[in-house]
Amino acid sequence: MTAVKEAPAALKLSDEQLLEMYYKMLLARTLSIRQRLLQRMGKGAITYSGEGHEAAQVGTAFALRPGTDWLYTYYRDIGVVLTIGMTPAEVLTGFFATRDDVNSGGRNMPSHFSHKRLRIVSQGAPVATQCPQAVGTAWASKLRGLDEVAAVYFGDGATSTGDWHEAMNFASVHKAPVIFVCEFNQYAISVHYKKQMAVENVALRAQGYGMPGITVDGNDVLAVYEAMTDAVERARGGGGPSFIEAKTYRLVPHSSDDDDRRYRTKDEVESWSARDPLVRFARRLNEMGKLDERREKEIAERVASEVDEATELGEGGARPDPESALRPVFVEEKGS
């Protein structure tokens, strides 16, 4: 945790935007918890949680233009997709794998997000395959003379893959307007980052590819937002790719099938819980005089009712027609 950058006090965010950030973080947290509870109740096969990552996710996504910039997320990115504009109901249709699941129509696992209008590109499960694709999408923007950028998200484990290295290199050689966002949460399932890499800060590698790399406190939403804003401006201005390493921690197991007590101590988890990005941001907003008890309660109530409503919608959603499993393998018509 050396070289962690502090957020400057002066940021250009309005009070409304600051509270919107807090709202999205709380929404992501609450919806993650809801899915875990629903899974325990036997209402879904599996969940992946974003708990602990909210600052890294909301802070980065907040610097993008929804529906214009492109997103390649990974399964933990509930805070990213909610910030860009997916509704809690759209997330939960994926959890319940309903017929009208906007992500995949019940074809992909939950939290494998996709939303065409919001330019959240459908994701596979192999780690880091999204990285070269994001580079391609960003590069296409450049070729077409557009100012759209792409952001690609992944965890620390992804930085060991060939696809990640190939993507970093390609992006830099072709100056693609892409931002690599590493949600560095210390573990690739059970494997600690010290077994994943021999460097303390993986952002060091960016330099070897000829792009700026920054390590940022991933539990400080404003610091993350600032780093992302810099990177997005550079990409939009023709300066090419950037790499952001947001140091954070997954507060719960990898998935509902994982038992994290096998590979990390209670003390460690508790020490990171004390740095909970949500609690931290609430305190900060309070100190800044922007979030009093009344507003905090209002936001909490709004989130709770939205999550309840989404749960109802998702749970009551139509089941897929079994025979629809045979489709759609190929685009049948040209120009589709």
Could you give the residue numbers annotated as active site? Answer: 250, 254, 263
State yes or no: residue 330 binds another protein (CB under 8 A): yes
Distance CA 211, CA 202 (A): 13
Among 33, 43, 46, 129, binds another protein (CB under 8 A): 129
128: left (phi over 0), alpha (psi -120 to 50) or beta: left
Point out which residues pair with 155 in neighbouring strands.
183
For residue 294, the tally of other CB atoms under 10 A from its CB is 8
Main-chain dihedrals φ then ψ at residue 5, nearest 5 degrees: -90, 140
Among 173, 189, 279, 300, binds another protein (CB under 8 A): 173
Tokens 């090419």, residue? 240
Among 32, 49, 114, 229, binds another protein (CB under 8 A): 114
Q: Which is nearer to another protein, 114 or 248 (CB)?
A: 114
Q: Which is nearer to another protein, 174 or 290 (CB)?
A: 174
Among 82, 84, 92, 135, binds another protein (CB under 8 A): 135
State yes or no: residue 108 binds another protein (CB under 8 A): yes
State yes or no: residue 141 binds another protein (CB under 8 A): yes
- Least separation in angstroms between residue 178's CB and another protein is 9
Tokens 């990285």, residue? 131
Count of CA atoms in the C-beta half-sphere (13 A) of 234:
22
State yes or no: residue 333 binds another protein (CB under 8 A): yes
State yes or no: residue 147 binds another protein (CB under 8 A): no
Distance CA 214, CA 184 (A): 12
State yes or no: residue 169 binds another protein (CB under 8 A): yes
Q: Is-contact 56 248, C-beta < 8 A?
A: yes
Q: Is-contact 242 213, C-beta < 8 A?
A: yes
Q: Which is nearer to another protein, 132 or 155 (CB)?
A: 132
- Least separation in angstroms between residue 90's CB and another protein is 12
Point out which residues pair with 183 in neighbouring strands.
155, 246
Q: Is-contact 49 35, C-beta < 8 A?
A: yes
Q: Which of residues 64-103 bind another protein (CB under 8 A)?
A: 70, 72, 101, 103
Instruction: State the residues that interact with another protein by CB under 8 A.
Output: 70, 72, 101, 103-108, 112, 114, 116, 121-122, 124-126, 129, 131-141, 143-144, 148, 150, 162-163, 166-167, 169-170, 173-174, 327-331, 333-336
